[in-house]
A = this chain, B = another copy of it.
């Protein structure tokens, strides 16, 4: 399989894809690894993750450069992605001495009740091109300390970064010493390989990141055999900008969250819902940002926006812009640049599309730097607009009004898994749980107790008395 760089569109490598049989064998190997790994004490499992964190620290610059080369995101963001891997390793090391279950008060004398969390089995990770390494790390660091083995199917379009990470894993494994074989594996391939993993009875958990369409297919396959999904699917993040907002802060946040990764994050800001009082000022400022943003080679430190990932991305963007116009929108920016220099690479100016309302195209996630701008008058209207899309990943409000901020975060506020105040919708810290509701798929990764998604819960009652009282006071004495 050929690998291209979005920077020039050139082919930079080719890798060999795995067959379905190989993928299935990888799972079988991973299951054998699991049977040994689950008995390794969690803090010792944490030591492997700590060593992996050290390898990532040492390789940060190189791995970041490779991310830029293969995926096209700018240097700063690529380094941030590797930093996120490091952060989750640190976090998982701490977790490895917790993995807290509960001791619980029992209603019966001489009885002890407990809840314990145990390893699940093989965890398959399907990751997407846009975060070619961090998403794996979120899953793998937790899965490992939780006692699972991991089989990783990266996007078939970004295999190099995956293979590079596998190398770092090998180094960490070598230093660790006695981990079972096949604990961490990469399988290269497309949707067919994904199906092999989804259907394999030994895959206990599947973490799948990507489009809602892909996620729905995975979800149904897993549902059929009661395997556990962790789905991170479509997003359609909005920002509400209220009259009291610090507009300078808002503009900076919009720039990063709408333009960063060339609009190809699941948390990319796609909808701007601005109060009528501030709308015009905001739009004016944003147009200036669009004019000014440095677009080009992501490896150049001066660049703020790299290329789209591939031609299909560009086509989808142009199609969306055309539809937006048809639905009453006015487009600013969005045109291709550097086309002469790189005929096979796709650099675009970010697009700001002023919309008369939240039309069909606005409800759709187009993986490109398109920001739809809409006005609102009443706060409730802004909340309703925010929630009236099928996706439920991320959202934010810029306001300095306590009531608005807290209402946005309340049960009647944003319906997203992520809801921020005075920061953009993207760029989450690893300490919180990441994921969202509705078509986003309901999964959670990274911080908080997302680790429970990688373990099975055991409820136990131990009778250490000499009699056998029944719960609920039932008498049953034959």
| Cβ A463 vs Cβ B422 within 8 A | yes
A190 within 8 A of B: no
A94 within 8 A of B: yes
Bitwise, A74-87 to B at CB < 8 A (1) or not (0) is 00110111011001
In residues 347-367 of chain A, which contact B (Cβ within 8 Å)? none
Supposing A98-B94, A474-B76 touch, asked if A224 and B220 sit within 8 A by C-beta, the answer is: yes
The interface-forming segment of A7-15, A309-317, A453-461 is A453-461
> Which of B83, B99, B409 is in CB contact (< 8 Å) with A116?
B409
Majority DSSP secondary structure for residues of A touching B: mixed
Bitwise, A199-242 to B at CB < 8 A (1) or not (0) is 00000000000000001100110111010110101000000000
| Cβ A41 vs Cβ B226 within 8 A | no
Residue of B nearest to A420 (CB): B461
Most chain B beta carbons < 10 A, residue from A421, A427, A428, A461? A461
How many copies of the shown chain assemble into the complex? 4
| Cβ A464 vs Cβ B410 within 8 A | yes
- Inter-chain contacts of A80 with B (CB < 8 A): 470-474
Residue of B nearest to A79 (CB): B474
| Cβ A431 vs Cβ B109 within 8 A | no
- Inter-chain contacts of A252 with B (CB < 8 A): 468, 477-478
The interface-forming segment of A20-28, A43-51, A273-281 is A43-51
- Inter-chain contacts of A109 with B (CB < 8 A): 39-41
Alpha-carbon separation in the docked complex, A442 to B464 (Å): 28
Supposing A95-B94, A402-B462 touch, asked if A256 and B476 sit within 8 A by C-beta, the answer is: yes
The interface-forming segment of A100-108, A153-161, A327-335 is A100-108
Residue of B nearest to A245 (CB): B402
A448 within 8 A of B: yes
Q: What is the total number of residues of chain A having a CB less than 8 Å from a CB of chain B?
A: 133
Alpha-carbon separation in the docked complex, A50 to B86 (Å): 12
Alpha-carbon separation in the docked complex, A99 to B118 (Å): 22
The interface-forming segment of A166-174, A181-189, A433-441 is A433-441
| Cβ A98 vs Cβ B226 within 8 A | no
The interface-forming segment of A318-326, A336-344, A368-376, A411-419 is A411-419
> Which of B96, B108, B405 is in CB contact (< 8 Å) with A105?
B96
In residues 32-70 of chain A, which contact B (Cβ within 8 Å)? 38-44, 46, 50
| Cβ B429 vs Cβ A471 within 8 A | yes
- Inter-chain contacts of A92 with B (CB < 8 A): 94
Bitwise, A284-312 to B at CB < 8 A (1) or not (0) is 00000100110000000000100000000
| Cβ B423 vs Cβ A463 within 8 A | yes
Most chain B beta carbons < 10 A, residue from A98, A229, A410, A460? A460
- Inter-chain contacts of A100 with B (CB < 8 A): 102-104
| Cβ A97 vs Cβ B430 within 8 A | yes
- Inter-chain contacts of A265 with B (CB < 8 A): none
Alpha-carbon separation in the docked complex, A292 to B468 (Å): 20
| Cβ A107 vs Cβ B41 within 8 A | yes
In the A-B complex, the 3 residue pairs with the closest CB atoms: A94-B94, A406-B464, A42-B105
Q: Besides A253-B468, A418-B460, 13 other CB < 8 A contacts? A: A77-B474, A90-B94, A93-B93, A110-B410, A112-B406, A115-B448, A226-B438, A289-B478, A402-B462, A409-B458, A410-B464, A417-B459, A428-B461
